[in-house]
Structure formats: structure tokens, C-alpha cells
Chains A and B, each alone.
Chain A
Amino acid sequence: MSTPTNESLDVFVKGLWRENPVFVMLLGMCPVLAVTNSVINALAMGLATLFVLVMSSALVSLLRNVIPKQVRIATYIVIIATFVTVVDYSIQAISLEVYLALGAFIQLIVVNCIILGRAEAFASKNGIGKSILDALGMGIGFTFALLCLGGVRELLGNGSLLDINILGPHFEPWSVMILPPGGFFVLGAWLLLFSWLKERSERRKTEKEASHVG
């Protein structure tokens, strides 16, 4: 698939779906479950993570030939923690309400395995352009996954999307969806759906091949 011409496109696209950090690689689950009880929280968290991911990937990639191998993890963590602090203060300055809703999870971006994972597995081995593309893809994929969860949970748990009532006044909200168990249930349901779709497409393929042979 990755011919040289669309290789960089592929670097970007793979994070969106084929190697989606949440749905496929099951990374960074804590914020995925914790802050997705509404679309706006999910969006804020996704953008904050995207920013940290892109900035730290870029810096790690720039410094990749300078950093000695033995202290690379320590250096990455310092770089990531710096950008998280930057995001932390910026969000406080932009909107205190959003900051209070996300709670400690902004600061916990530091230990989100996606960021350290991309720094170690991709940015430390590739040029800055490619690293930024990779980080953008992964970050957007992560935000997309957060929105998938946040959308379902807010719609079922509150009858609204982005605080705009959608399901009307007669809808009795499923409060459990915005509570902790709802996070587990909705993510579990998405994973079941994806693996069902995958299995079905594989079964079709083998059936087709079988009928072809037959």
C-alpha cells in the first residue's frame, strides 16, 4: 500500500483508523474513560493531547541525534511534562470551567502511554516532518475516539449533544452512561462492534474465496 509517493500520507492516515491508538492499540485508556461524559470535555481533552503529542514529537525528532540512548526516556519525559504544564496553564487561562471539569486529567497527559510511545517508536527514528505527520494522525485518531465515546455517553446519559437537547423533554436519561460504569460499557460496545465488523468482512472474504475455488 505504501508506495513512496503516498508514504507520508500513509504515515498520517494510519493513526486515524488502522492503528487507532484507542480502538486498535488500546492505549491511553484512562482519559478515554474518565473525561468522555460530555462532548465538550472529550474535545478539550483530545485537543490538549493532540497539542502535547505534536509538540513533543517535533522536539524529540529534532533532538534525536543529540540525545544519548541511555537517558532518552528521562529526556522524553521531561519534554512531555514541559508541554503538559504549558497546556495546563493555557487551559486555565482560556476557560476555568473546562479546566475544573477535566480535573487532574490534564496533568495526567504526562503518563498517557500514546505520547511516550510515539516518541520512542516513531519520533526518535524519523525526521521532523514525518514525526509531526505521525503525531497529527495519532492525535486526531485519539480525539476521534474520545468524541465517539463522548457523543454516545452524552446523548444517552443526558439526552443532549454539546449541551443542546436532542432527544426532547420526554426522554428519561440513562444516568449510568455518564457515570463511571457507562465509560466501560460504551467503550466495550464500540470494541465489540468493530470486532464484529472485522469478523464479518473476513468471513465474506473467505466465503468469496471458497466459492471461487468451488
Chain B
Amino acid sequence: MSDDSLGFIFLNACIINNFVLSSFLGICPFLGVSGKYETASRMGFAVMFVMLVSSVCAYFINTLLVQLDMEYLRLICYIAVIASSVQLVEMVMKKYSPALFRSLGIFLPLITTNCAILGLALFQTAKGYNFLECVVYALGAGSGFTLALVIMSGLREQLSLHDVPSIAKGAGLTLMVAGILSLAFMGFAGLGS
């Protein structure tokens, strides 16, 4: 597969270089809200949504900054854009879809400090993607994040029914499981060649 087709960009962001399991982005929500399947999938979709919005915003901001020759303001602009787009998404959602807001709303403030979002914006800039590629990349990264969260929550729901040594309850066990999951995802690495 050619390394710049849209399908490959999606696959690359979603599975081969999964944001959580091989690039270590968004670990906090991954460990924090992967206890229950329900919350994990909602968090995943909220992140995917914000990723899409901020990826598009970041693309335009970067185009503008490059034209003005002011790339050194990139980081500060990106973080401001992400923080405000999260706020905007929150407000729009509250007004037009209260049901969706009730299910995703509490996660939105958390997303501002989710490094997967900023990471996405920085990576797409570094890779020099065009508009369409950015959108596909954001969708891929978002689905990859959701996938990791959902798999993890399934495993943890099962684990919670089992008798584990008391010292392993909590973060220790979760990290070990995440390690095994990450090992499994390494198997996808050769897909591109």
C-alpha cells in the first residue's frame, strides 16, 4: 500500500501507531475512565469529536502562521484553540443536543488537558498533511483511541469479577494489562510494508 493514501493514513493512526498503546498519548483518560465499558465508549466518542474539530482548526491556524512567518507562536496558538474549541463544543452541544451533552458533557473539560489532542495537532503539522489528510488522520486517531479505551474497559470489567491479590488492585494491575495489550498491538506494525 502506498504510504500516503488516505486509507493508509487512517490505518496508521488507528492501529499501527495507535495513539494510546504505541505513542503514549492520552494515558491519563486511558487509565482513568476505562473502568466501565459505557463511560469508556462515551469518552472515546467525545475525544474523537474534539479531535476532529481541533484538527481542522489547527490546520487553518498553521496555514495562517506559516504565511505570517510566525511559527514560533504555534504551540501557544494550538493550546488556545484546543481549549476554546472544547468550550465551544460544550456550549453548542448544551444548546442543541441536551441528551448528548448529558452523556458526554462531564468528559469535555477533561479533554482539554488530554495530550492526544495536542499531540494530534503537532503530529499533523510535522507530517505536513493537507486538509483532507488531516481530517482522515484525526478520524483514525480518534477511532484508535476509542478502540483502545473500549478494549481496555472490557478487560477491566472482566478482571473486576476475579480475585486478584490485594496489592495488585488498582493502577498496578491496569498497567500490566495495558502492557500486554500494547504488546498485542505491536503485531500490527508490519501492516504498512
Given A108-B118, A181-B180, A30 and B26 contact (CB-CB distance below 8 Å)? yes
A-B CB pair tally, cutoff 8 Å: 114
Write out, one digit per residue, whether chain B residues 82-98 have a CB within 8 A of any chain A CB (1) or not (0). Answer: 01000000000000000
Given contacts A33-B27, A180-B21, A188-B172, whether A195 and B167 have CB atoms under 8 Å apart is yes
Q: In chain B, residues 62-112, which have Cβ atoms closer than 8 Å to a Cβ of chain A?
A: 72, 75-76, 79-80, 83, 112
Asked if residues B76 and A85 are in contact (CB atoms below 8 Å), the reply is yes
Q: Does B24 contact A (CB under 8 A)?
A: yes
**Is A191 interfacial (CB-CB < 8 Å)?**
yes
Known: A176-B183, A188-B175. A26 touches B113 (CB 8 A): no
Report chain B residues within 8 Å CB of A74.
80, 83
Instruction: List residues 53-90 of chain A with CB under 8 A from any CB of chain B.
Output: 73-74, 77-78, 81-82, 84-85, 88-89
Interface size on B, residues (CB 8 A): 41
Per DSSP, chain A at the interface is helix
Q: Which residues of B contact A (CB under 8 A)?
A: 21-28, 31, 72, 75-76, 79-80, 83, 112-115, 117-119, 122-123, 126, 166-168, 170-176, 178-180, 182-183, 186
Residues of A within 8 A of B (CB): 26-27, 29-31, 33-34, 73-74, 77-78, 81-82, 84-85, 88-89, 104, 107-108, 110-113, 116, 176, 179-185, 187-189, 191-192, 195-196, 199
